């Protein structure tokens, strides 16, 4: 099994996280689902040796099938194949044309690399419920356009004032602040146009539903909500876990949630399947940010491909700042476990990419 699929973890378990004053948090960890303490489906080699009994003895038949499928799933090849497909689709979608300056700026950030996690989630969710990659590709490109826009705007001097993104100078450093703002706006607008015009073989009502989901996850109740609360929280002396969780569930998790839900809708998933995948996405969305917070204080700028330690410099509230590195890691493990529990009941072969993506998010190092 690939190291990305079966990462070694020594994180301990926790039933709850307390805030800086020692009070039990009302965060996601205190949700009744966390008190169920679901069994993690992924054991390191060390853990397997120490358990001393067969894993299959403590797993349900469905869980055992998932373990078997993931054991034979080549996640590295999957990522490369999907990233190549997405990159080609993005290249074809945003072409160089007049006015050249704005399209050069759009392509500079959009095609600068990146893991393409959000498009992969969109495609994998579509395939999980029986759809095809081609069905979800327009939406997958759209969420990457929106993600790129958010990074371009996030890097601006009026926001995080960053000079490095994906190992390259940020957009405004190359094209100027004015063009960077407009290029981000153009990517946002084009993302909706692309879904509407490039999605093929899907009933119109599904496309309309997708448009509504996409708008909500990035608007004043989604990504923008998290961003503005994050900005207003800088320098605050009293920020609890509930406050921090609101920021991340909106600023980061909302677009990841949208990516998964869009794929599930386009693939023809029923309401029960879509809601299970929505819950999965919320967990991995929050997980993504918890890991991001940890990496910001444990990795160098060279390792991350972006400026390290910027949250500390900006006096931002993060999980390591509130509860420490180890508790943050424990929280990440709980989120990963809860996310994967949502996939029990789906076809194990089709669920393998989403499980591997959850583990990739949990154990990434940049």
Q: How far is CA 28 from the centre of its chain?
A: 17
Q: What is the CATH number that goes with domain 75-363?
A: 1.10.600.10
So where are the chain's domains? 75-363
Write the CA distances from 218 to 13, 110, 147, 224, 259, integer angstroms: 33, 18, 9, 6, 11
Number of H helices, E strands in the chain: 18, 2
Nearest to residue 36, comparing CAs of 363, 344, 346?
Answer: 344
Residues sharing a CB contact under 8 Å with residue 183, sequence separation 6 or more, in sequence order? 102, 105, 106, 109, 152, 171, 175
Query: Is 353 within 8 Å of 75 (Cβ atoms)?
Result: yes
Helix axis angle, 348-363 to 319-341, nearest 10°: 170
**Residue 30 has what DSSP assignment?**
G
Query: Tens digits of per-residue pLDDT, 282-291?
Result: 999 999 999 9
Q: How far is CA 188 from the centre of its chain?
A: 18
> What are the pLDDT tens digits along the chain (366 aa)?
333 333 333 223 333 333 333 333 334 444 433 333 333 333 333 333 322 223 333 344 554 545 555 567 899 999 999 999 999 999 999 999 999 999 999 999 999 988 899 999 999 999 999 999 999 999 999 999 999 999 999 999 998 889 999 889 999 999 999 999 999 999 999 999 999 999 999 999 999 999 999 999 999 999 999 999 988 887 777 778 899 899 989 988 999 999 999 999 999 999 999 999 999 999 999 999 999 999 988 866 665 565 655 555 556 778 998 899 999 999 999 999 999 999 999 999 999 999 999 999 899 887
Query: Tens digits of per-residue pLDDT, 204-237?
Result: 999 999 999 999 999 999 999 999 998 888 777 7
Look up the pTM and report it.
Answer: 0.77
Confidence (pLDDT) at 6: 33
Nearest to residue 345, comparing CAs of 121, 66, 5, 34?
Answer: 66
The torsion angle over the Cα atoms of residues 162, 166, 169 and 171, rounded to 10 degrees, is: -80
What is the DSSP track for 281-330?
A: HHHHHHHHHHHHHHHHHHS-HHHHTS-TTHHHHTT---HHHHHHHHHHHH
CA separation for the pair 90, 86 (Å, rounded): 6
């Amino acid at each position: 099994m690939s190291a990305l699929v079966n990462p070694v973890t020594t994180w301990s378990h926790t039933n709850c996280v307390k805030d800086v004053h020692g009070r039990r948090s009302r965060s996601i960890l205190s949700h009744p689902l966390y008190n169920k303490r679901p069994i993690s489906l992924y054991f390191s080699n060390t853990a397997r040796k120490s358990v001393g009994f067969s894993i299959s003895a403590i797993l349900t038949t469905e869980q055992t099938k998932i373990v078997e499928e993931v054991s034979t799933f080549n996640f590295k090849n999957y990522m490369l194949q999907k990233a190549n497909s997405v990159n080609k689709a993005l290249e074809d979608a945003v072409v160089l044309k007049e006015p050249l300056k704005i399209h050069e700026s759009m392509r500079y950030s959009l095609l600068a690399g990146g893991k393409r996690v959000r498009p992969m989630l969109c495609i994998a969710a579509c395939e999980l419920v029986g759809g095809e990659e081609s069905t979800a590709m327009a939406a997958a490109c759209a969420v990457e356009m929106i993600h790129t826009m958010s990074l371009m705007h996030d890097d601006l001097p009026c926001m995080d004032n960053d000079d490095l993104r994906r190992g390259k100078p940020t957009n405004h450093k190359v094209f100027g602040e004015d063009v960077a703002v407009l290029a981000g706006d153009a990517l946002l607008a084009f993302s909706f146009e692309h879904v509407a015009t490039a999605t093929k073989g899907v009933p119109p009502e599904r496309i309309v539903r997708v448009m509504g989901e996409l708008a909500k996850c990035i608007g004043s109740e989604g990504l923008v909500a998290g961003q503005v609360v994050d900005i207003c929280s800088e320098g605050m002396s009293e920020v609890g876990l509930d406050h921090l969780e609101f920021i991340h569930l909106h600023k980061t998790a909302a677009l990841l949630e949208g990516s998964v839900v869009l794929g599930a809708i386009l693939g023809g998933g029923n309401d029960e399947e879509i809601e299970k995948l929505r819950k999965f996405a919320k967990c991995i969305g929050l997980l993504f940010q918890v890991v991001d917070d940890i990496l910001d204080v444990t990795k160098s700028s060279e390792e991350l491909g972006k400026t390290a330690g910027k949250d500390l410099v900006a006096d931002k509230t993060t999980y390591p700042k509130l509860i420490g590195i180890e508790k943050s890691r424990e929280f990440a493990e709980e989120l990963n476990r809860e996310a994967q529990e949502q996939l029990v009941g789906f076809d194990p072969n089709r669920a393998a990419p989403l499980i591997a993506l959850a583990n990739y998010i949990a154990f990434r190092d940049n």
